[in-house]
Each structure stands twice: as structure tokens, then as C-alpha cells.
Structure 1
Amino acid sequence: MDISHNEFIGSLPTRFFKNLKAMLSVGRNELRKVQYVGQKDFYSQWDDVVRVTTHLASLTHLHLSYSGLSGLVPQEISHLSKLVSLDLSCNDLYLQNLAMKRLVENMTTLRDVMFSGVDMSHVAPLTLANLSSSLVSLHLETCYLGEAHGGEFPFGLFQLPNLQSIQLSSNPQMRGHFPKSNWTSLLKFLDVIGTRFSGGLPNSIGGLKFFEDLNVEGTGELPDSIGNLVSLKSLYLTGSFAGSIPASIGNLTQITDIHLSDQNFTGELPFSLGKLEHLTSLTLDGNNFSGQLPFSLFNLTQLVLVDFSNNQLTGPIPTTVNSHSSLVSLNLAFNLLTETIPSSLLSILPSLEYLDLSYNQLDGHIDDFHVNKSQLSYVDLSNNKPHGPIPRSLFGLVHLTGLILSSNNMTGILDIEMISELKELRDLGLSYKSLSLSLPSSNEKFSFPMFTYLSLSSCNLREIPTFLKDSKFLQHLDLSSSKIQGPLPDWFWGLGEASLTYLNHSHNFLTSFQGFPWRGFLYFDIHSNLLQESLPDAVLWSGYVLLSNNKLTGEIPFSICNNSDMIILDLSINRLNGKIPHCLGKLSYYLTVSDLWMNNLQGVIPTKFANCESLRILSLNGNQLEGPLPHSLLNC
């Protein structure tokens, strides 16, 4: 009976245990012939398991994964000397070193050991060294290896003649290194992500012709012999690998996934990457790659995901791409790419949904293009240098949910009616551009109820756009430097009431923000306005409170003492009076800036400064404070 991988809850029906007793009443000679036990919840206690299995002298397979078992793994399990496959994974079990030692000593024909999720923190890694030479699979993910005893994973296990799979991921205290020679030639799967393996990949790894899946956390350079792993399908490296990618990587003709993100790789991308015809995912973001993009990559018809962001790539983006491409996501952000933004990326690629070219040095005109059957849903061209008008065809991309065009040199007047054609739009960024957003007096007829992100800084708005009235899901709103005057309208306080976490109204001409309803903001910036009122309590519940350069009056509310998550407090250049709240010195462990410069505050500086290791700036000058500097400032 095998009912594993289910989601049963509670106790088992009594009739199951009647069957268990019937099984126990069978003669021992018959029990000895049983070779396979694989049940979930059939044995709800270890006692049940032990009572049955100790009579099963011929048992070869014991599979109890996802069985809801808990507690110590009993030493009696080691009596099953003929076991070839033992699976205890995904239970709430704890394995002691003695039990593991006896298991290794007695089970000399064991081929599969699957203990993922079993607490092995008190098992000495050296105990594993004597596992059977018959071992084929060793799965010890998330077993807390090395946490109590320390020590290294025995590298001799990599040399067992029949070993095909080693899974050791998510054991953060497990140290180890790879052998420099004599690897088992049959190894197919290796995963040591989330461990403390060091020393990098030895050149000898190139002898593993059957390798299919290589997931390694480590250091060092990628050996040129990596190109010999002709069966490899997935390469996933984390840690601090460095050096260049060898051109031999082009020999991995069966590979589908290459993930080398957030490393220290340098040099140019090898053009041999364009030979990998089965490649579907290539993520090389967060490195120091330089040089030009390999144009041949854009001819790979099975490639779905490309992420080269956060590198130092230069030169143009290829203007010719394969119209039969399967590319869905292309991220080239934060590089040094130049020349024009090819309109072919916006029109020819039939499957492309995500395009991010932000933070480069792209310039020139963006030509209008044929929308055809484009699937584009997110386009970010911000922080580049294109000039000329925004192509009208952008607003024919009917599936767009995100359009970010901030910080470039495009000019002209953008009509809100054009934006309203994008019915699925949620994120819109038009800040810091040499264009104006046209808001006709009847703009109330336009509505964007799905907006979550809106950035219109420096768009010459002069008033709060009424098309925002129905935007109840806003999370990020930036209307700074837009010449907005007077008090905020009453309807404004209903925006994103349960979702808004970022609000920037700085560098306008606002005179009041009474009615402020939100608490728990991450970022609230309304500095450099004409506010002439007292501080609302709710404002001071934000993480970033930026209210400088106004004409705020009254005292700093003592309710500020209840905000334990504040990071920056800037109330400088106002007309605040009264005493500094006594809690200023222990306001928040995370507080990095506390700026009360140029107000009318009186009294003494709070005497107790504690829990202020993060504090970098404390500015109190330009007030009417008196008394000594507190000695507790030395704690900061």
C-alpha cells in the first residue's frame, strides 16, 4: 500500500490499525518476504513503523515521505540491513548521530538516501563518509548539517562509483570543497546552493560527461573544462565567482538554463553563447561584464528570458532580430548601451511581454512602429537620452500594464486621451521630461481605477489631476515639482486609502494637508511647500518623514514616540516650537537622520540616547536650546 503525498488531517480510522494488527498476525516467514513499504499516515507513530518493519527481513524499500511523522528516528530502523531505498523526507523528524552511524554501518546495500527536511544538526558530517559504495542518490536538503558538530562534508562521497545525484542545498553551516580528481563518472545532479562550499569548481569537473544539473555556491573562476559537460541542461551559480566566461560554454549544446546572477564576472560576453540552440533562460545580471551584446543571441528561437541588467555593457542594441523568436522578457537596464532604441524590439518580437532598457545612454528618435499582434505588457525606457516626440504607436500596445518613460529628452505635449487608450495600464512614469501632460478642463471623464504606480514629477500639472479620483489601489504617487497650488482637495484623501505607501508632493505650492488620513506610510515627502499649520499625528507614523522648508508651527507631537520604524525625520527650516520630545534619543533603532535645524525649539536636548547605532545625522542647531550636551550621545 502506498498513499504517500496526500494531505490527510487528524487521526486515522480505527479500521486501518485493525489491518495493521492483522498484518502483525501474519507469520514471520510471510512478513520476511515483504520488500516494499510506502505509506503516508498509515503509520501515525514510530512505534507502528518499528513494530512492523523489524519483522520485515527482506524489506528493500521504505518510503515514508510526507507521512506526518515526528520525533526521533529510532535506532531500530538500522536493523533493516537489506534496504536499498530509504525515504524519510518532509516529516518533522530528528536524527541523532548514533542512529545515523548504525544506519550507515548496517545498510551496506543502500542506494537511495532521501532525508530532506530531517533535522540532522547533531550528525557529524564524517559519519556520512562510510555510506555504501552502492549509493546512487543522496538528498539532504535543509537538514541543518554542520550546525552542531561543524566539520566538512566528506568529499570522498563525490568519488563513489555509482553516485548520480547529490542534493545538499539550504544547509548554510555545511562546509566543503570538491575533489580535484577521481570524480564519479556517473554524476548527473549536484546542488550545493545555500551551503558554505568553497574553492570553486576544479578543472576535473569537465570529465563528468553525464552531468545534467549543476547548482553550486562558491568562489573562483569558471574552468574552461566546463565546455566538456556536453549533457548539461542547467547551470546555476551563486556566491562570488569571478573571471570571465570561457568561450567553451558554447559547447553546451543541450543546455536550457544558465543563471550566473550577482557574481563578480568580468570581461566580454562570449559570442559562442549564440550557439546554444536549446537555451531558454539566460540571466547574467549583477556582474561586471563589458563589451557589446552578442548579436547572435537574438537569433536563438527558443530563448524566453534574457537578463543582462546591472553590468557595464556598451555599444548598440541589435536592430535585426529573428521574427520567430520566443523571447518573452528582455532586461538590459543599468548598462552603458548607446545609439538608438530599435523600434524592432517593440514590434517584431511576437512573444515579448517585458522590456526594460532603463538607465542606459540610448539616444536618437524612437520611430513609430507597426503594433501588429504585440504582447508587450511592460516597457521601461526611462533614464536615457532619446529625443523627439513620443511615438504614438506606443499607445497602441493595448496589453500594456506598465509604461515608464521618465527622465529622458522627449518633447511635446502628451494628451491624457492617448493614455486613456491603455485600458490595462497600472504603472505610468512620465517624470522629469521635456514635455507637458495635457489635462483638459473636462479630464474628469477619464478614469484610471487600476493605477498602482504614478510618477508625474515636473510635468507642469498646476493642479491635482481629477482623473485620479477613482484610483483606489495606488501604492506609489509622485506629483513633485509640478507647480500645484493651494490646499489638497477633499477627494484626494480617499486615494489608495488601504494601499498607498509612497507619496511625494515636494517642491510645490501647497498650503495645507489637514485631513491626512494615512498611517504606516513608508515614504512621505512634502518638503519645500507653503504649509502653515501644525503637524498631524498621522504623518509621524511614516518611515521617511520629509517636511523641511515649510512654515509649520506648533509643537512636535509626543505621539512620534510610538513610531518604532522611523528611518529619516526631517523637520528642518520650519517654525516649530516647544520642547523636543524626550523620546528623540531612543526613537527607533533604524533612525539614521534626525534633522530639526532652524526652528524655534526650546528647552534641553533629551538626556538619554540609546539604541541609536544607526544614527548618522543629528542636527539641532538654529534653535533656542540650552543646557549641556548629554553624555549618552557617545552611545550613538
Structure 2
Amino acid sequence: MSKLLPKGRIPTPPPSLLWYFVSRNKLVGDIPSSICNSSSLKVLTLWKNSFNGTIPECIGNLSSSLSHLDLGNNNFHGKIPESFAKYCTLQSFRISNNQIGGSLPRSLGNCKDLILLDVGNNNLNDTFPNWLGNLDHLQVLVLRSNKFFGQMDNSDVTVSFTRLHVIDLSRNNFSGYLPTNFFKNLHSIRKGHENKFELEYMEDVSDYIAFNYVYGLSLTVKGSEIEFQSLSTMWMVIDFSDNQFFGALPKTLGELHSLIVLNLSHNCLTGPIPSSLGDLSQLESLDLSSNKFQGRIPTDLTNLGFLEVLNLSQNNLKGPIPQGKQFDGFTNDSYKENLGLCGFPLSKRCDTDGGTLVKFDRDDDELNWKFSILMGYGCGLVLGLSMGYIVFTTGKPLWLIRIVELVQQRFTKR
């Protein structure tokens, strides 16, 4: 466990120390370069302090012994060290929630055992790191809230990412079509994971515990940002929201059968919502809001038995909203600002053909009541005019006078 230290500078660990946890303190200043003399150090966690210096370049060399390095939630600036060791042993590397700029050093590709890479909420300015696809053990990739840009597809790079099960690219400047081949290669999300996977790639139980001790990993799940206290291979997440992706959704997305969270909101995606999304049997959260999707909502989405959160708002969808199962629990907010949609839970109802929009501003009973009154007025007016015309043209016909007299006599007797 981390030891709570008074406000001040980081104490230099003894050379023989294996684990160094000083998280959740009020430590300030730079990381002393003397920390790199701890050649036996396997775990270094300085998470959630007030450091405001740069990351020592020698940290890259220390990666030949380190398994876990967590410098997240500080005020570090400058760049990531360029020279990660040729035989880098890092399994998790986190520098999230700092002010670090520059690009991702290509020497991170030397870290063949890397399982988690979290550089979210910084000022990194780079293209998508396709070269990380060669890291066979990479499970979690978080690039959110930076200045990454450009297209993800690169025909010159063989990208696999076969073990990946969490990828967060949200709040960047990525553009172009969604990468079909990228989704095809996400074999862990297509087929699921076995919970024993981490142990297979950890040297001992202490490494396994250290990996799960990586707290503070933030992801947007079911519409809210959640800070996880540990990692789980059960979470399968794709978040490409708040970028500039355009074009249609690849049908291959429907093959990611273990996916739990899919967030593609706030992009420029067009075309219909593919019915293949109805094959995502484990999906709990689907957010396609603030795009330019057209056409009808596929009825296949009613097959998503675990779906808890649905957001299709701010698109160009039309036609009836599918009914039944999970869809009966979604509110108007799931569909707002789609002027062509109709059916429950919206106030716009569909005709029997299921396509034409009929808007009811008041309850049906009130409408029927007003319609009956208008019909009564209309019929009375026609009958009155007809009788007036007969009286006017024939004088005072005896048969009409007799009918009136009989009615008067009956009311008098009562």
C-alpha cells in the first residue's frame, strides 16, 4: 500500500527496493535523477501528487527493470523520454492527466510485454500509433483528450492489436473513415477473453497484484465518466467519440460479440445504422448521438438483451422506433432531435403503415370530443337550412305543423 507522506519532495528509494508507492500525497518538484540508480525497482507509482517538473530521461533506461510505471495525475510537462530500453520490461505505463506534449516515442515499441498504455488527458500531438499493433500483449490503449490527428488506416503498416479489449481515442482530431481492418483484427473482443490471461503474462503473483493495483483509469461508460479501481478482462470498450470520423459504419462492427461499450458519438458519420449491430449480444451501452445517420432504427437492435443505455439523439433518423424488450425502458432523450422519428416514447405517432408521421397535440379523447361537436354543428346546420327552405318555398305545410303540435302536446302532458 502507498504510504501517506507530508508535503515535500520525493524521498529517494534505496537501491535494493522493489516496490515504491507514494501515491495520493502532496509531493512537489521534479523526480530526482537519483531514482534511476534503483536498478532493482520493479514498480514505481507516483500517482496523484503535485509534481510539476519533467520526466527524467533516465526513466527510459530504467524500463529494463521496471514492470509498472505510473506517473498519472500530476503536473508534469515536457516530453516522454525518447530512449526506452531495447529489452524494455514494462507491462503498464501511465502518464495520464498531466501536461505532457510532443509525440509518443517509437522506442515504446521495445516494450514487448506492455499490457496497458494510458497517456490520456495531455497535450500529445501525433498520428495514430499503428506501430503499437505489434505489441502482442497490449490490452488497454487510452489516448483520449490529446491532439492526435489524421487517419487510422495505414496500408504500409501491418496492424494487429489482437489482444486489445479497451481502446479510447475520444476527444482528439482523428479523421477519415472508420478502419474496417482494425476492427477485424480485434480478436479478443470478437471472441472474448479468459480471466486467467493476465496471470499467463505476469512473472509472479506480485506482478499480477501490481497490475490490478493500477487505480484511477477513467473511461466514459454508459454516458458517465467512471474511474476504475482495478482492471478486468471482462470490460470490452471502444470509444472513438469527439473526433472527425466520417462515412458509414463498417458492418464488421457487428462481429465484436464481446463488446460491452460502443461510443461513436460527436463525429460526422453518415448512412444507415447497420442491422449487424444487433449481433452485439453483450452490449450494455450504445452511443451514436450527434452524427448524421439516416434511415430507420434497425429492429435487430431489440435483440440486445443487456442494453441499458441508448443514445441516438441528434441525427437524421426517421420512421417508427422499435418496440419491445429493452426499448420499452428508453426515454425521449434517447431519440431527441430526430424530426423524422415516430412512435413510443415520442409524442409523434406512426400510422398503420409504419412510415407516415401523425402528430397529436392533445389526447385522443379531447380530439374525438371536439370532432363530435363539430359534426353535430354541421349536421344541425344542414338540417335547419333544409327545413327553412321547405317552409319558405311551400308556405306552412300542414304535415310539418302537425308534427310540431304533437311534440308540444307531449311536453305539456309531462
TM-score relative to the length of structure 1: 0.43
- Distance in structure 1 (CA, Å) of the matches to 2:288 and 2:301: 21
SS at match of 2:60: helix
The reply to whether residue 321 of structure 1 matches residue 132 of structure 2 is yes
- Distance in structure 2 (CA, Å) of the matches to 1:358 and 1:445: 24
Q: From 150, 169, 174, give the equivalent of 1:362.
A: 174
Report the AA paired with residue 243 of structure 2. Answer: N
**What's the CA shift for 1:470?**
3.2
Report the AA paired with residue 18 of structure 2. Answer: E
The reply to whether residue 246 of structure 1 matches residue 56 of structure 2 is yes
The reply to whether residue 229 of structure 1 matches residue 38 of structure 2 is yes
Q: From 331, 334, 337, give the equivalent of 1:478.
A: 334
SS at match of 1:225: helix
Distance 1:283 1:468, change over 3 A: farther
Q: Is the 8 A contact 1:453 1:476 kept in 2?
A: no
SS at match of 1:313: coil
Equivalent position of 2:241 in the other structure:
382
SS at match of 1:379: strand
Distance 1:460 1:221, change over 3 A: same
User: Mapping of 1:387-466 within 5 angstroms?
Assistant: 387-415=246-274, 417-439=275-297, 443=299, 446-462=302-318, 465-466=321-322
User: Mapping of 1:111-510 within 5 angstroms?
Assistant: 191-192=2-3, 195-201=4-10, 205=12, 208-216=14-22, 217=25, 218-237=27-46, 238-252=48-62, 253-273=64-84, 275=86, 277-342=88-153, 348-369=160-181, 371-372=184-185, 374-376=187-189, 377-415=236-274, 417-439=275-297, 443=299, 446-462=302-318, 465-467=321-323, 469-471=325-327, 478-483=334-339, 489=344, 510=347
Report the AA paired with residue 458 of structure 1. Answer: Q
Q: Is the 8 A contact 2:281 2:305 kept in 1?
A: no
Distance 1:276 1:427, change over 3 A: farther
Report the AA paired with residue 276 of structure 2. Answer: M
- Distance in structure 1 (CA, Å) of the matches to 2:110 and 2:303: 41
Cα deviation, 1:421-480, whole Å, max 9, x if unaligned, reads: 22222211111112225336xx27942221022110122334662255335787996322
Distance 1:473 1:245, change over 3 A: farther
Q: Is the 8 A contact 1:324 1:350 kept in 2?
A: no
Report the AA paired with residue 465 of structure 1. Answer: I
- Distance in structure 2 (CA, Å) of the matches to 1:260 and 1:446: 43
After superposition, the CA RMSD in angstroms is 3.2
Q: Is the 8 A contact 2:255 2:280 kept in 1?
A: yes
Distance 1:306 1:476, change over 3 A: farther
Report the AA paired with residue 210 of structure 1. Answer: S
- Distance in structure 1 (CA, Å) of the matches to 2:301 and 2:93: 45
Distance 1:445 1:256, change over 3 A: closer
Q: Is the 8 A contact 2:292 2:316 kept in 1?
A: no
Distance 1:532 1:305, change over 3 A: farther
Q: Is the 8 A contact 1:274 1:296 kept in 2?
A: yes
More helix by share: 2
**What's the CA shift for 1:211?**
1.6
Q: Is the 8 A contact 1:274 1:294 kept in 2?
A: no
SS at match of 1:369: helix
Q: Is the 8 A contact 1:337 1:361 kept in 2?
A: yes
Q: Is the 8 A contact 1:326 1:351 kept in 2?
A: yes
Report the AA paired with residue 254 of structure 1. Answer: S
SS at match of 2:59: helix
SS at match of 2:254: helix
Distance 1:285 1:531, change over 3 A: farther
The number of equivalent residue pairs is 301
Q: Is the 8 A contact 1:448 1:468 kept in 2?
A: no
**What's the CA shift for 1:358?**
0.6
Q: Is the 8 A contact 1:414 1:436 kept in 2?
A: yes
Distance 1:392 1:249, change over 3 A: same
- Distance in structure 2 (CA, Å) of the matches to 1:530 and 1:281: 57
**What's the CA shift for 1:243?**
1.0
**What's the CA shift for 1:511?**
7.3
**What's the CA shift for 1:321?**
3.1
- Distance in structure 1 (CA, Å) of the matches to 2:10 and 2:162: 39
- Distance in structure 2 (CA, Å) of the matches to 1:373 and 1:361: 22
Distance 1:468 1:338, change over 3 A: farther
- Distance in structure 2 (CA, Å) of the matches to 1:263 and 1:309: 12
- Distance in structure 1 (CA, Å) of the matches to 2:332 and 2:308: 6
Identity %: 28
- Distance in structure 2 (CA, Å) of the matches to 1:220 and 1:342: 40
**What's the CA shift for 1:221?**
1.2
**What's the CA shift for 1:328?**
0.7
Distance 1:276 1:480, change over 3 A: farther
Distance 1:346 1:424, change over 3 A: farther
Equivalent position of 2:380 in the other structure:
none
- Distance in structure 1 (CA, Å) of the matches to 2:276 and 2:72: 38
**What's the CA shift for 1:281?**
1.2
- Distance in structure 1 (CA, Å) of the matches to 2:29 and 2:126: 29
Report the AA paired with residue 338 of structure 2. Answer: S
**What's the CA shift for 1:368?**
2.2
Q: Is the 8 A contact 1:450 1:473 kept in 2?
A: no
- Distance in structure 1 (CA, Å) of the matches to 2:360 and 2:104: 50
- Distance in structure 2 (CA, Å) of the matches to 1:287 and 1:368: 32
**What's the CA shift for 1:225?**
1.6
SS at match of 1:286: coil
**What's the CA shift for 1:275?**
4.7
Q: Is the 8 A contact 2:18 2:40 kept in 1?
A: yes
Which runs of no fewer than 5 residues in structure 2 stay unpaired?
190-235, 350-358, 364-414
- Distance in structure 2 (CA, Å) of the matches to 1:323 and 1:476: 44
Q: Is the 8 A contact 2:278 2:301 kept in 1?
A: no
- Distance in structure 2 (CA, Å) of the matches to 1:277 and 1:298: 9
